[in-house]
């Protein structure tokens, strides 16, 4: 399936808010994991996707992590229990969604992409992540097993930091922070590979270098496409006056996160320019090498022009050719050729033409 755009033919003609899955099914059966906590307690349990409702756990904040987006019935039950807006749930099930932040009356909605580099294919792989949260709950939706949230889970379990003393907006920040950290790691990883290309471009430029440069340019273009809307997303969060984001306690953390996003985007842009420089350097190296070859060939051509003249003169069919009767004519002829060729080589060398 295309990385840059997902077909939307499945929901063509349907009413807004229809729960239709758009994307590639990456897991057979959805899984639900419920974390609940406050400053005093923490626990988590795996839920049965077929159970009718999500349990409440007293005066705690619930984090429901849903893996697998294709089950419309499950999504409808979650929507009904938490009172989620139909348009938000429609965006959750559309895996080609652009990163964005939206405010609804009863909750906030954030969607963006998680990225990782697949060494086997040499491509950046993406997975959509959606967050819906209010004061006392947060629901995260992802396409498949495996994410970058283990540090957050460990902090919750061990009670480290402020996370268990804060509301769900701080949990949303913590999850976004791990996603942005993964962006930074990805760009650093690509950057190391791109830096290694410089010596290869200078030492041994060949066609494979061009293919690698173009491949990295394509991957960075994809990363840029994913991350640019994240900058707008963070700007929207910072401008928000929603009561579900505590401006005094949590907003400084979101502002810091915006700075990390901008820094990462600048790094991506820097590496894209660097790859363009490498491509120009490759073409310059090839042109220089070709010029060197042409210069040597031109020198040999220049040397053989007078030699061809001598050979042409003595190869003519005159009946009377005085030098041909002289016993040492052949040796004199070759001596003259060697002297002329040597003199021309010495002159070219003196002029630093090669």
For residues 181 and 314, membership in a common domain is answered with no
For residues 45 and 154, membership in a common domain is answered with yes
For residues 264 and 307, membership in a common domain is answered with no
For residues 219 and 342, membership in a common domain is answered with no
For residues 320 and 273, membership in a common domain is answered with no
Kindly report the pTM of this predicted structure: 0.80
- Closest listed residue to residue 59, CA positions, set 86, 37, 42: 37
pLDDT surpassing 90 at residue 200: no
Please answer whether residues 194 and 268 qualify as being in contact, where contact means their C-beta atoms are separated by less than 8 angstroms. Answer: no
For residues 114 and 214, membership in a common domain is answered with yes
Residue 336 domain-assigned? yes
Residue 60 domain-assigned? yes
Residue 231 CB partners (closer than 8 Å, separation 6+): 258, 261, 262, 265
Q: How far is CA 176 from CA 24, 61, 182, 233, 243, in A?
A: 23, 18, 10, 11, 19
Q: Which of 244, 264, 284 is the last residue of a domain?
A: 284
For residues 183 and 331, membership in a common domain is answered with no
Q: Which of 231, 256, 284 is the last residue of a domain?
A: 284
pLDDT surpassing 50 at residue 1: no
pLDDT in tens, 216-230: 999 999 999 999 999
For residues 53 and 168, membership in a common domain is answered with yes
Please report the pLDDT score of residue 91 as a whole number. 92
Residue 289 domain-assigned? no
Q: Which of 264, 284, 304 is the last residue of a domain?
A: 284
Please report the pLDDT score of residue 106 as a whole number. 93
Mean pLDDT throughout 255-283?
Answer: 92
| Domains contained in the chain, number | 2
Residue 302 domain-assigned? yes
Q: What is the mean pLDDT of the chain?
A: 87
Residue 331 domain-assigned? yes
Q: What is the domain extent for residue 344?
A: 295-350
């Amino acid at each position: 399936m295309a990385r840059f755009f997902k077909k939307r033919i499945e929901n063509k003609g349907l009413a807004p808010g229809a729960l239709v899955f758009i994307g590639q099914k990456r897991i057979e059966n959805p899984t639900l994991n419920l974390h609940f906590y406050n400053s005093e307690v923490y626990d988590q349990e795996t839920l049965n996707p077929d159970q009718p409702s999500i349990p409440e756990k007293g005066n705690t904040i619930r984090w429901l992590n849903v893996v697998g987006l294709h089950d419309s019935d499950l999504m409808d039950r979650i929507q009904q229990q938490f009172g989620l807006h139909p348009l938000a749930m429609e965006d959750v099930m559309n895996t080609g969604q652009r990163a964005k932040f939206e405010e609804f009356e009863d909750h906030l909605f954030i969607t963006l992409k998680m990225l990782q580099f697949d060494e086997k294919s040499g491509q950046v792989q993406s997975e959509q992540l959606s967050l819906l949260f209010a004061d006392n709950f947060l629901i995260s939706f992802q396409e498949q097993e495996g994410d970058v949230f283990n540090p957050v889970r460990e902090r919750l379990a061990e009670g480290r930091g402020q996370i268990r003393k804060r509301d769900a907006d701080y949990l949303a920040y913590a999850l976004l922070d791990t996603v942005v950290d993964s962006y930074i790691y990805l760009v650093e990883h690509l950057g190391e590979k791109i830096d290694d290309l410089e010596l290869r471009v200078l030492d041994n430029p060949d066609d494979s270098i061009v293919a690698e440069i173009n491949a990295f340019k394509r991957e960075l273009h994809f990363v840029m496409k994913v991350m640019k809307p994240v900058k707008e997303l963070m700007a929207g969060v910072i401008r928000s006056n929603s009561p579900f984001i505590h401006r005094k306690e949590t907003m400084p953390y979101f502002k810091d996160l915006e700075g990390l996003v901008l820094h990462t985007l600048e790094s991506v842009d820097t590496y894209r320019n660097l790859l363009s420089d490498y491509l120009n350097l490759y073409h310059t190296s090839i042109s220089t090498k070709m010029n060197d070859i042409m210069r040597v060939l031109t020198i040999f051509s220049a040397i053989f022009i007078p030699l061809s003249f001598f050979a042409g003169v003595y190869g003519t069919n005159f009946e009377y050719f005085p030098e041909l009767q002289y016993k040492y004519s052949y040796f004199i002829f070759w001596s003259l050729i060697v002297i002329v060729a040597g003199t021309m080589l010495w002159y070219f060398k003196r002029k630093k033409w090669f």
